[in-house]
């Protein structure tokens, strides 16, 4: 899954290339790409035609295009392999082209998705905590790079969690945008093992962790996102590679850049977690005790 910095790269590209344009027509080339739009393809196309794209917005890993007069938005699910491409209409259809929107600025906005886990949906906009978001995003917490992110209130939420800190970091209703890669990087920086129980961590440790999450994401944003997969590309089809700056994720067996111990890989939530055995000692009990 693309993480926050990758999604932000796509958002920036859309803000530059499609915001302010009006959708002239839409072709749905694969029904799976609009499966979240329950009224179906004809309704989908009808609702978008003639609408001006007001903005390109993001919260965590969620991306949406509010449409004038800001009553609805196109929510973009990138899934595992979704790409948003801006192309001249003369460019031949991509092999995995799923949705094509022709814009009045002379370009196509294309949704290409090899594995078809992603798609577009139309959702009403609603106000949550003073911010306008699509209804499917209403339960998603602010992300660490949101100017209104309130670290102290997230610390309070984490202090009440009787669950592993990595699991809490990945919970998009606690804070959003942190996926497996940035969770491991933030935990490494804060020198906390992901299996520590959230409520047992001190306030300073939790603050350190949230500061680290903000920092790793800020650095990734500055470098254009992490990409391990040629399928994660920005709106113009360029990859945002910067994996060399990772300290923990994917670094199994390589020396920790702080202490030199080989980074270990462990199973967590059916995925791999990477940590330093010396800087991030494993807790004695790995499961919450009730
Ligand atoms: Zn170390």
Confidence band, pLDDT 50/70/90 cuts, at residue 225: low
Catalytic-residue membership of 32: no
Confidence band, pLDDT 50/70/90 cuts, at residue 235: low
**Whether pLDDT at 290 is above 50:** no
pLDDT of residue 238: 53
pLDDT of residue 102: 97
pLDDT of residue 210: 98
pLDDT of residue 100: 97
Distance, CA of 182 to chain centre: 11
Catalytic-residue membership of 39: no
CA of 280 to the centre of ligand 1 (A): 7
Region 214-220: what's the mean pLDDT? 88
Region 200-215: what's the mean pLDDT? 97
> What token pair was written down for 20?
């302010």
Higher-pLDDT residue of 284, 122 = 122
* Backbone φ, ψ for residue 66 (5° rounding): -65, 140
Work out the mean pLDDT of the chain and round it to a whole number. 90
pLDDT > 70 in the chain, percent: 90
Distance, CA of 90 to chain centre: 31
CA of 185 to the centre of ligand 1 (A): 12
Burial of 110 (0-12, 13-18, 19+ CB in 10 A): buried
Q: What is the dihedral of CA 187, 191, 196, 197, to 10 degrees?
A: -80
Confidence band, pLDDT 50/70/90 cuts, at residue 217: confident
Q: Which of 51, 61, 100, 167 is catalytic?
A: 61
Confidence band, pLDDT 50/70/90 cuts, at residue 57: very high
pLDDT of residue 7: 87
**CB of 280 within 8 A of CB of 188?**
yes
CA of 140 to the centre of ligand 1 (A): 33
Catalytic-residue membership of 278: no
Question: Three-state DSSP class for 243?
Answer: helix
**Whether pLDDT at 47 is above 80:** yes
Across 48-57, 211-220, 271-280, least confident range = 211-220
CA of 51 to the centre of ligand 1 (A): 53
**Whether pLDDT at 55 is above 60:** yes
CA of 274 to the centre of ligand 1 (A): 11
CA of 282 to the centre of ligand 1 (A): 13
At 171-184, the pLDDT tens digits run: 999 999 998 989 99
Q: What is the pTM of this model?
A: 0.87
CA of 252 to the centre of ligand 1 (A): 12
Region 117-139: what's the mean pLDDT? 95
Region 240-246: what's the mean pLDDT? 59
**Whether pLDDT at 243 is above 60:** no
Question: Which residues make up the environment of ion ligand 1, defined by Cβ < 5 Å?
Answer: 256, 258-259, 261, 276, 278-279
Q: Which of 2, 5, 134, 144 is catalytic?
A: 2
Higher-pLDDT residue of 236, 127 = 127
Burial of 242 (0-12, 13-18, 19+ CB in 10 A): middle
Confidence band, pLDDT 50/70/90 cuts, at residue 104: very high
Q: Which of 70, 258, 271, 287 is catalytic?
A: 271
Catalytic-residue membership of 152: no
Q: Which residue has the tokens 């949101």?
A: 146
């Amino acid at each position: 899954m693309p993480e926050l910095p990758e999604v932000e790269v796509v958002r920036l590209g859309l803000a530059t290339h499609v915001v302010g344009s009006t959708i002239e027509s839409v072709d749905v080339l694969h029904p799976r790409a609009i499966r979240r739009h329950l009224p179906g393809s004809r309704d989908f196309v009808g609702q978008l035609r003639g609408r001006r794209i007001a903005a390109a917005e993001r919260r965590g890993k969620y991306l949406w295009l509010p449409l004038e007069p800001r009553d609805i938005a196109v929510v973009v699910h990138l899934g595992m392999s979704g790409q948003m491409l801006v192309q001249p209409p003369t460019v031949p259809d991509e092999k995995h082209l799923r949705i094509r929107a022709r814009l009045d600025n002379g370009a196509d906005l294309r949704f290409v998705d090899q594995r078809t886990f992603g798609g577009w949906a139309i959702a009403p906009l609603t106000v949550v905590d003073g911010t306008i978001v699509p209804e499917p995003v209403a339960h998603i917490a602010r992300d660490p790079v949101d100017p209104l992110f309130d670290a102290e209130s997230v610390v309070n939420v984490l202090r009440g969690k009787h669950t592993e800190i990595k699991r809490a970091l990945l919970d998009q209703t606690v804070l959003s945008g942190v996926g497996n890669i940035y969770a491991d990087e933030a935990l490494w920086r804060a020198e906390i093992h992901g299996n520590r129980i959230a409520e047992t961590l001190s306030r300073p440790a939790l603050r350190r962790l949230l500061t680290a999450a903000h920092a790793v994401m800020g650095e990734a944003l500055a470098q254009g996102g992490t990409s391990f997969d040629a399928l994660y590309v920005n709106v113009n089809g360029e990859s945002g590679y910067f994996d060399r700056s990772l300290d923990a994720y994917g670094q199994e067996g390589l020396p920790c850049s702080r202490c030199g111990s080989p980074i270990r890989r462990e199973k967590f939530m059916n995925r791999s977690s990477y940590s330093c055995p010396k800087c991030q000692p494993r807790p004695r009990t790995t499961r919450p005790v009730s």
